[in-house]
Structure 1
Amino acid sequence: MNRLSRVSLTLFCAVILVSCGKDKSESAVADADKPDVSSDVVWVTVNGSPIHESELDYARQKLLGDQFVDARVEENIRQSLISSRAIAQKAEAELSAEDLANIALATQVYREELLLKSYLQRVSVPRAVSEQMVVDYYHQHPEAFGAASISDLEILKVPLGPEIDSAKVITILSGARTQENWSNIAAQQSGQKITYQKARSNQQLSPRLLSALNTLSTGDTSDVVIEAKQAYVIRVLSQQDIPPRPLSEVSRDIRKRLAAEELKKAIKSLSEKVLAESNIVRKD
């Protein structure tokens, strides 16, 4: 396939995507919703269906923007529009009623999306994101940018069950809170199935254990925590604070987040205003 043929094929596929949606809209929406093209210049008809200059301009702008269009590319765009219209007509004649109904529904939904987007751009202006808003968000949510407090821990735990003297085990764990060598306690009380382990707070700990840990500083020991038929005591050996990434690295992401939040607020405000002016009758 030569280069010209490849260009033609590419343009044809692109114009299919651009023009099919428009053609489906014409067959799917009421005549009252169609744009007034009575004064538009018709440059070609396909089986009696006119293609207007405005459609050609739209396809040209959608595909190439402000790029220079030479005569060869212009002719490819025109021929692709003709082919697209002919295929769309063939499809409309041969597709099942169910397929056409689905296309009509999809077109209606897409049309509403375009109307909403266009209207929002015209009447709803989100609040601009200031530098101070970015800085405030950064300081209010350091964990979102990598800040963390990681603790090195030692843990005594024992399963609770019929074969375990729960009261005795809890007494042993409570007494361990004031003792230094927990590994010795586990070894001396092996008959009670007490186990000793070291861990870090950024490892997978249950929400309940993390809640107990959040109240502790270096050297502190938790009360006995019972969860999922296990009894625990936790001691914090050391703590390390990890700072967030520098603001200069994350400010762009913060700005995007805040812009999205401001857009949501603007849409919500507009929605509330329009709904207050509307007559809503639900059938459910």
Structure 2
Amino acid sequence: MRVVAAIGLVMTAVLAGCGGGENDASGVADTRAAASAPVLAHVDGTDITAVDLELAVGRLLDGRSTNELDRSTREKVLRSLVRARVIANHQAARLGEADRAELERKVAAYREDLLMKRFLRDEVTAEPVTEEMMREYYDRHPERFGARTVRTYELLTTREEVLPASRDEVLDRLKTLGRTGDWAAAADSISVGGPALRYRQVALDDATVAPRLRKLLRSIEGDERSSITFIRGRPYIARVAAVENIPPQPLSEVRGQLRRALAPVRVKAALQEASAPLIEAADIEYAGEFSSLGDE
């Protein structure tokens, strides 16, 4: 049974202090309700109440209520909570001062996170993402939706490493050939009775392009050709053969992606607006390396 299988996670989750995000924020029990809740177990001078049981079930079983579980299942959850409390009390007693301080910082951070989520839920209303916003973002960041420029390069090199005796001849041939229009035909012509040259076309994302060669290709601007560069004993000369501008995906196909990208922006704006009066009224003083923030 899936419910029973999930119960074994209760102890781990309680000890780890982890939860289910929004469910945690909405499920934080009211202090007065917790105080008046029936006590289900006493553990070393502390109480486990019906509220604790309800929170554990809701957190670990996707928001379900204890009313949906039979008595046997509720007993298993309660026993797991008791075990977790015993282990937590035992471990807390063994903590040194530094570990205790670290634990308190984590608890404080977790508490702030829950309260922040509750503030977002109760007091922040984000405006919906509009068609105009999506269009503006889409036009400003086409590269995020597939737009890119693909350059194909022509390369001339030798089929083998150049020996010192033939180095000058090879370089002269490459310089002459580099000024011609059809590198492929010229390479075939020169290779007859001369140094064996190799012509090829590559793109930057070609897996066969070595890092140093990729760096050479990136250095080429416009219609220029590169200088002759030796890589692993072979001379290379390159130029751009073609440029293809690939457009972004149609707006109609990326609306979901746009909404997901812009929704947090709207929430952030609404959060800043809702919290502005609180920030204005708070006593805030930055210190250390951030002391200058107070002057802004």
1:101–1:45 distance in 2 versus 1, CA, 3 Å: same
Residue 202 (structure 1) shift = 4.7
Write out per-residue CA displacement over residues 93-137 of structure 1, whole angstroms, 9 at most, x where no aligned residue: 244555434323322332333333333444444442234434554
2:189 matches 1:181? no
Tell me what 1:28 maps to.
none
TM-aligned CA distance change 1:95 to 1:54, over 3 Å:
same
Q: TM-score, normalised by structure 2?
A: 0.62
Q: Partners of 2:70 and 2:131 in 1: how far apart? A: 45
Q: Which whole-Å CA distance do the structure 2 matches of 1:126 and 1:135 have between them?
A: 19
1:49 Cα shift? 0.8
Preserved CA contact (<8 Å) 1:156 1:232: yes
Distance 1:186 1:143 in 2: 42
Say which SS state the counterpart of residue 54 (structure 2) adopts.
helix
Q: Partners in 1 of 2:246 and 2:198 — Cα distance?
A: 30
TM-score (norm 1): 0.64
* Structure 1 equivalent of residue 237 of structure 2: 232
Q: Give the CA deviation at 1:210.
A: 4.5
Match of 1:282 in 2: 288
CA contact (8 A) 1:155 1:196 kept: yes
* Conservation of the 8 A alpha-carbon contact between 1:174 and 1:223: no
User: Taking structure 1 as reference, are residues 38 and 196 closer, same or farther at Cα in structure 2, changes over 3 Å only?
Assistant: closer
Select 1:251's aligned residue among 251, 255, 271.
Answer: 255
Provide closer, same or farther for how the CA distance between residues 123 and 152 of structure 1 changes in structure 2, counting only shifts above 3 A.
same
Quick check: 1:223 aligned with 2:224? yes
In 1, the alpha carbon distance for the partners of 2:214 and 2:285 equals 50
SS at 2:287's partner residue? coil
Once residues 283 and 197 of structure 1 are traced to their aligned partners in structure 2, the CA distance between those partners, rounded to angstroms, is 55
Asked whether the equivalents of residues 15 and 63 of structure 1 are also in contact (C-alpha less than 8 Å), the reply is no
Which sits farther off after the overlay, 59-68 or 36-45? 36-45
Structure 2: distance between partners of 1:40 and 1:184:
92
The 1:42–1:190 alpha-carbon spacing in structure 2 relative to 1, beyond 3 Å, is farther
Give the whole-Å Cα distance in 2 for the aligned partners of 1:247 and 1:130: 13
Q: Report the 3-state secondary structure (helix = DSSP H, G, I; strand = E; otherwise coil) of the residue aligned with 2:108.
A: helix
Q: 1:10 to 1:38 in 2, by over 3 A?
A: closer
Summarize the Cα distance change of 1:223–1:41 in structure 2 as closer, same or farther, 3 Å threshold. closer
SS of the equivalent of 2:129 reads coil
Q: Which moved more, 1:52-61 or 1:133-142?
A: 133-142
- TM-aligned CA distance change 1:280 to 1:173, over 3 Å: same
Say whether residues 1:198 and 2:201 are aligned partners.
yes
For structure 2, list consecutive stretches of 5 or more residues without a partner in the other structure: 19-29, 291-296
Alignment of 1:44-123 (within 5 A): 44-64=41-61, 65-66=63-64, 68-123=68-123
Distance between the aligned counterparts of 2:190 and 2:218, measured in 1? Answer: 22
Amino acid at match of 1:13: L
Q: Is 264-273 or 63-72 further displaced after alignment?
A: 264-273
* Alpha-carbon distance in 2 for matches of 1:94, 1:72: 34
- Please state if 1:13 is matched with 2:9: yes
In 2, Cα distance between the equivalents of 1:166 and 1:122?
A: 76
Query: Shift of the alpha carbon at 1:195?
Result: 5.0
Identity %: 25
Question: Which letter maps to 2:86?
Answer: A
Larger mean CA deviation between 227-236 and 38-47 belongs to 227-236
Report if the CA contact (8 A) 1:224-1:232 is conserved: yes
Where structure 1 has 5 or more consecutive residues not aligned to the other structure, the ranges are 23-33, 216-221
Corresponding residue for residue 25 of structure 1: none
